[in-house]
Amino acid sequence: MKLTAVYPGTFDPITNGHLDILSRGGKMFDRIVVAILRNPDKDPLFPLEERVQILKSVVSRWSNVSVESFDGLLVDFARYRGAQVIVCGLRALSDFEYEFQMTLMNQRLEPGIQTVFMMPSEAYSYVSSRLVKEVARLGGDVTGLVPPDVASRLKQRFAAMAGS
């Protein structure tokens, strides 16, 4: 049986930690669909269309990874895509409680879909989209933490905000 996994998130923006998980997951599953949440409660820095465009460009190196956006329940999207697995990245223990609750809720909603927890390389264990944005906003260097295109978009975005 071919295994399809969904890798959900806000990806505002994608970090090298996300890419590390995708690189590992791509070796475990036949297909991974990156599922970008369309309507997060939070106000994203990058509009959905831009996040989709960035993601598509950075995953183009892998033939078995594709990018889509979704709203509504994740399990409904996973079912619609024929996925058997949800991939969930775990960086630190602090991620666990939230991810644990979501996983149990998803299991209740759709017992036929399994969640697989994956850890990124130690080098990315502290990297989050939130911290990357904070550092970039305050003028810090995020080289190596995000793809080069994302680093320059962050720079441009915060320079434009400072100028307005």
* Site of interaction with ligand PNS (CB under 6 A): 8-10, 37, 73-74, 102, 105-106
- The residue from 2, 27, 42, 108 that is catalytic is 42
Q: Treating both helix axes as pointing N-terminal to C-terminal, what angle do 148-163 and 129-137 enclose, rounded to 10 degrees?
A: 50
Clarify whether 27 is annotated catalytic. Answer: no
- Whether 129 is catalytic: yes
91 is catalytic: yes
In the chain, the largest separation of any two C-alpha atoms, in whole Å, equals: 54
* Shorter beta-carbon distance to ligand PNS: residue 90 or 135: 90
| Rounded least distance, CB 8 to ligand PNS, Å | 4
Q: Which residue is nearest to ligand PNS (CB)?
A: 9
DSSP string computed for 50-115: HHHHHHHHHHTT-TTEEEEEE-S-HHHHHHHTT-SEEEEE--SHHHHHHHHHHHHHHHHH-TTSEE
Closer residue to ligand PNS, CB minimum distance, 102 or 135: 102
Beta-bridge partners for 4? 31
As a whole number of angstroms, the distance between CA 140 and CA 33 comes to 32
User: Looking at 51, 129, 133, 153, which residue is catalytic?
Assistant: 129
- Would you say 8 or 26 has its CB closer to ligand PNS? 8
Which C-beta is closer to ligand PNS: that of 37 or that of 146?
Answer: 37
Q: Which helix (H) or strand (E) holds 9?
A: strand 4-9
Task: Supply the minimum distance, in Å, between the C-beta of residue 104 and ligand PNS.
Answer: 8
Minimum distance of ligand PNS from residue 29's CB (angstroms):
17
Q: Is 34 in a helix, a strand, or coil?
A: strand
125 among known catalytic residues? no
Q: List residues with catalytic annotation.
A: 18, 42, 91, 129
